[in-house]
Structure 1
Amino acid sequence: MKNFIPFLILLISAGAFAQIEIPRTTNSGTAIPAASESKTGNFPAFKLKKEEDAPSDFLKKEPKKLDFRETKNDLLTAGSVYEKKWKKDKEAKAEYKNDQYLGDFKTGGKFVELYCRDHEYVDGDKVRISVNGTVVEPSISLGAGYHPILITLVSGMNNIEFEALNQGSSGPNTAELRVFDENGEPLARKEWNLLTGAKASLIVVKNQ
């Protein structure tokens, strides 16, 4: 019995250190290479597209040209009208009873475009427009936005008159006037202050 115990210990030790053979696969398919690693980490390397590499859509577009004559509310920008918050017009002076001459201008075009508005307190001012004594606009209410009027010219002198039909609810009849030729080029920018019945006039000379 004493001899059997050492023999049993020796047998267990030999079994623990015995080599176990692992069966090998017989698959002969092509090996898949491992993904390459980036130099900075363990993730697969790929190229980030820089923003400067992509063509800019903004650079492809041509700048939009503003046509002031197409803008109904403002001749300076394509945005909304900036209406000044006047509480009242200037004081109505005696000198505003007199007619006002706004100057004379020359053009070779067939027409001019007029734009007028109440540039101070919008209080219901109205005007009548005549060309060479013929009424072309019997009554126009002047608001904060520009009101367009197309005037066809005759050869020689064209006398354009603006008659104040009223003075609104405050002060004189006030307006800002802008004149453009047929190409949209500015010819004049004027203002008037008129009492009822007074006129502001300008002359446009059409060259033959």
Structure 2
Amino acid sequence: MKFGKLYIALFVLLSGGVFAQFDTGKRSVGIAPVTPKAAPKEVQKPDEKEKSTILPEVLKPESNKPIVEEKPLSLTPSNEFMSNSREFTKVFEGELNKIKPQRKKQSLGTIKVKTKSVYIRCRDSQAIDGDQIRITWNETLIANRLTLTGGFQGIELQLDKGYNYIDFKVINEGDSGPNTAQYEIVDKAGNVLANAFWDMNSGDTATMVLIRE
């Protein structure tokens, strides 16, 4: 019982102390304690013994090597530009040859004849502008620079036994190209053995073959 009374007395004293603090009539204001800032860390100085940042190999300066190698000045003529010039000329000539019109050889056919001679007749089949041709027979010249007109011009030709090659070569195209011609092969009886037209450029050749049986 003594201990019980003692506990009760202590409880009463402690409770009175707590209520006494609130009965003072003064409102207490709580102020949060100020936390002192941590002192700044001491900046560490780089160790002089440590190496600086390593640059990539491409950025490392080379030792006293010039960026552009200087060639010694020479007063002796060089063939470098001459060889380049020749190569350019070859290429230019090759391209120029492509532009030039290619010479053509046209076949007018092959016919068989039984007569010893025929007439070769030619005329300009379109505008009369000064077209000219050359006629050869078995590589023998029989008409040089024949100017074509609106009417037929005839040449009598004595044929060899066997093959007779007649070549019509264009000399020029007149005032307006191409060379426009009509030719006929006629026997002595007036029979037309061959008849054809052509449109050719200067230098072109048309060949007729007559086989005398």
**Structure 1: distance between partners of 2:172 and 2:150:** 17
Compared CA separation, residues 201 and 195, structure 1 to 2 (3 A) = same
Q: How does 1:13-162 map to 2 (within 5 A)?
A: 97-162=103-168
Identical residues among aligned pairs (%): 34
Q: What does the per-residue CA deviation read over 1:93-122, in whole Å, with 9 as the maximum and x for residues that have no partner?
A: x98841111011111111111111001111
Q: What letter matches 1:166 in structure 2?
A: N
TM-score by length of 2: 0.51
TM-score of the two chains, using structure 1 as the length reference: 0.52
Question: Greater helix percent: which structure?
Answer: 2
Secondary structure of the equivalent of 2:199? strand
- Cα deviation for residue 201 of structure 1 reads 0.9
**Among candidates 197, 200, 205, match of residue 206 of structure 2:** 200
Distance 1:192 1:96, change over 3 A: farther
Is the Cα–Cα contact under 8 Å of residues 96 and 172 in structure 1 kept in the other structure?
Answer: no
- Matching residue's letter, 1:179: I
SS in 2 for 1:165: strand
Give a deviation string over 1:130-151, Cα, whole Å, max 9, x none.
Answer: 0011101112100101111111
Alpha-carbon deviation of 1:193? 1.3
Deviation, structure 1 residue 165: 0.5
Note if 1:181 corresponds to 2:175: no
Residue in structure 2 matched with residue 71 of structure 1 by the alignment: none
- Whole-angstrom CA distance in 2 between matches of 1:165 and 1:96: 15
> Which sections of structure 2, spanning at least 5 residues, go unmatched?
1-99
Instruction: Please give the alpha-carbon distance, in whole angstroms, between the structure 2 residues aligned to 1:182 and 1:140.
Output: 22
1:35-61 Cα offsets, whole Å, 9 max, x none, are: xxxxxxxxxxxxxxxxxxxxxxxxxxx
Q: Superposition RMSD on alpha carbons, in Å?
A: 1.6
Match of 1:74?
A: none
CA distance in 1: counterparts of 2:176 and 2:140, whole angstroms: 29
Who is 1:55 aligned against? none
Partner of 2:32: none
Code of the residue aligned with 1:150 in structure 2: it is E
Given that 1:128 and 1:163 are in contact with CA atoms closer than 8 Å, whether structure 2 keeps it comes out as yes
Q: Which runs of 4+ in 1 moved over 4 A?
A: none
Once residues 210 and 190 of structure 2 are traced to their aligned partners in structure 1, the CA distance between those partners, rounded to angstroms, is: 15
What letter matches 1:195 in structure 2?
N
